[in-house]
Each structure stands twice: as structure tokens, then as C-alpha cells.
């Protein structure tokens, strides 16, 4: 197994285990076993658990951005439809069998208070989403305040869906987003 293959196996196993069980609950031996690599190989690629956590979050950020961008692009050229596609993306995600909330919110809740590096990665991820929403809102001609409102709505939907186990939350968030968008564009 090449170094790249081992790294991929470790990150895939870590992503699945951390998301399902939590960051603190997964030890290096469990991760090694799930990835099918030796402990020596694991520590050779990731000298500390924090290195794996940050690599997983960096990878999740890329997955989130590419998935969201694809959903928005698929919505076409209409600025309103592109904004609402964000909530369609959330609904699709909430309907997956393994949905357990936002990995970034989960990481911040578990580690953010004691791990400044994780806290910074989470903050950067959330700021990136806010910036993306700002770009979408700018194309509608609405006030930049709408981006903050729609971002908060999306973040709240993620937390509520994770706690309630109800994917319908995304539909409700989309309905609220429609009201906000229509009011902002009309004003």
C-alpha cells in the first residue's frame, strides 16, 4: 500500500468514525484497526490525533464546498433559484442515512473550547459559507444583510435536523428563506 493509499484509508476511516461516534470517543488503535494500517504507519503519517482531526476537517470543507457549488450551479442562472438551491442541498444531505449534523459544529462542540486549531478551522469554514452566501445575495441586488440571515437559517436548520432527526427542517428553512428573499428583493 502506498503512502497516499494509506493516508486515504486513514482519513476515510477517521471521517466515518468521528462523524458516527465523536472525535473524543475514537482512539488511535480503533482508527488504526478500521483503516487497516499498522500503528507505526498511522503515526508515521499523522504524528498526533490532532493532525488527523484537522486533516479530516480540511477534507470535509472541500467536500462541502464542492457539493454546495454543484447544487447551486445546477439551479441555473436565476439568482433566487440559486439561493434556494442551498436549502435543497441541505434537504438532500439531511435525508442521507448517516446524517448526524454538521461535522464542524460537532467538532467545535467537542473540541473548540480546548483546541484553538480546531476552533479556527471551524470558524474559517463558517466564514467561507457566509462569504459564499454573500456572493449569491449580491447577484440578487438585495442588501448584504440577507446573506447573514440566510446563513443563520441554514446553520440553524443543520443543528435542528441533527437533533430532531427530521429532514423536513430543510423544507421549512427553504420556506423561511423564500420569505426573506422576497422581502429583501422587493425592498
Note whether 63 and 151 are same-domain residues: yes
Among 151, 152, 169, 171, smallest CA distance to 160 is for 169
Query: According to the model, what pLDDT value does residue 44 have?
Result: 95
Note whether 124 and 66 are same-domain residues: yes
pLDDT in tens, the chain (187 residues): 899 999 999 999 999 999 999 999 999 999 999 999 999 999 999 999 999 999 999 999 999 999 999 999 999 999 999 999 999 999 999 999 989 999 999 999 999 889 999 999 999 999 999 999 999 999 999 999 999 999 999 999 999 999 999 999 999 999 999 999 999 988 6
Whole-angstrom CA distances from 54 to 49, 94, 121, 179 are: 9, 24, 8, 37
Cell of 76: 441555473
Distance (Å, rounded) from C-alpha 14 to C-alpha 10? Answer: 6
Query: According to the model, what pLDDT value does residue 61 have?
Result: 97
Note whether 43 and 62 are same-domain residues: no
Residue 115's Cα: distance from chain center in Å? 19
Note whether 99 and 169 are same-domain residues: yes
CATH of the domain at 32: 1.10.10.60
Burial 42-56 (b: 16+ CB within 10 A, else e): beebbeebeebbbbb
The domain in which residue 65 lies consists of: 53-186
How many distinct structural domains can be found in the chain? Answer: 2
Q: Please report, in angstroms and rounded to a whole number, the separation of the first and last CA atoms in the chain.
A: 60
CATH of the domain at 170: 1.10.357.10
Note whether 20 and 101 are same-domain residues: no
Note whether 68 and 87 are same-domain residues: yes
Q: Helix or strand or coil: residue 114?
A: coil
Question: Can you list the alpha helix ranges (DSSP code H) found in the chain?
Answer: 3-21, 28-35, 39-45, 49-74, 79-94, 103-107, 116-138, 145-164, 168-186
CB-CB contact of 19 with 103 (8 Å): yes
Amino acid at each position: 500500500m502506498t503512502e497516499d493509499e494509506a493516508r486515504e484509508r486513514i482519513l476515510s476511516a477517521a471521517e466515518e468514525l468521528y462523524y458516527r461516534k465523536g472525535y473524543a470517543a475514537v482512539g488511535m488503535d480503533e482508527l488504526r484497526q478500521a483503516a487497516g494500517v499498522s500503528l507505526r504507519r498511522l503515526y508515521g503519517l499523522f504524528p498526533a490525533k490532532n493532525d488527523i482531526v484537522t486533516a479530516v476537517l480540511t477534507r470535509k470543507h472541500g467536500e462541502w464546498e464542492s457539493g454546495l457549488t454543484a447544487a447551486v450551479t445546477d439551479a441555473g442562472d436565476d439568482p433566487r433559484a440559486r439561493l434556494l438551491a442551498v436549502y435543497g442541498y441541505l434537504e438532500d444531505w439531511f435525508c442521507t442515512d448517516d446524517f448526524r449534523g454538521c461535522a464542524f459544529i460537532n467538532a467545535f462542540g467537542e473540541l473548540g473550547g480546548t483546541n484553538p486549531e480546531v476552533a479556527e478551522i471551524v470558524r474559517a469554514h463558517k466564514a467561507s459559507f457566509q462569504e459564499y452566501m454573500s456572493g449569491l445575495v449580491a447577484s440578487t441586488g438585495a442588501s448584504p444583510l440577507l446573506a447573514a440571515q440566510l446563513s443563520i437559517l441554514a446553520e440553524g436548520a443543520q443543528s435542528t435536523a441533527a437533533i430532531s432527526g427530521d429532514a423536513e427542517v430543510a423544507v421549512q428553512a427553504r420556506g423561511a428563506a423564500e420569505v426573506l428573499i422576497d422581502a429583501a428583493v422587493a425592498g
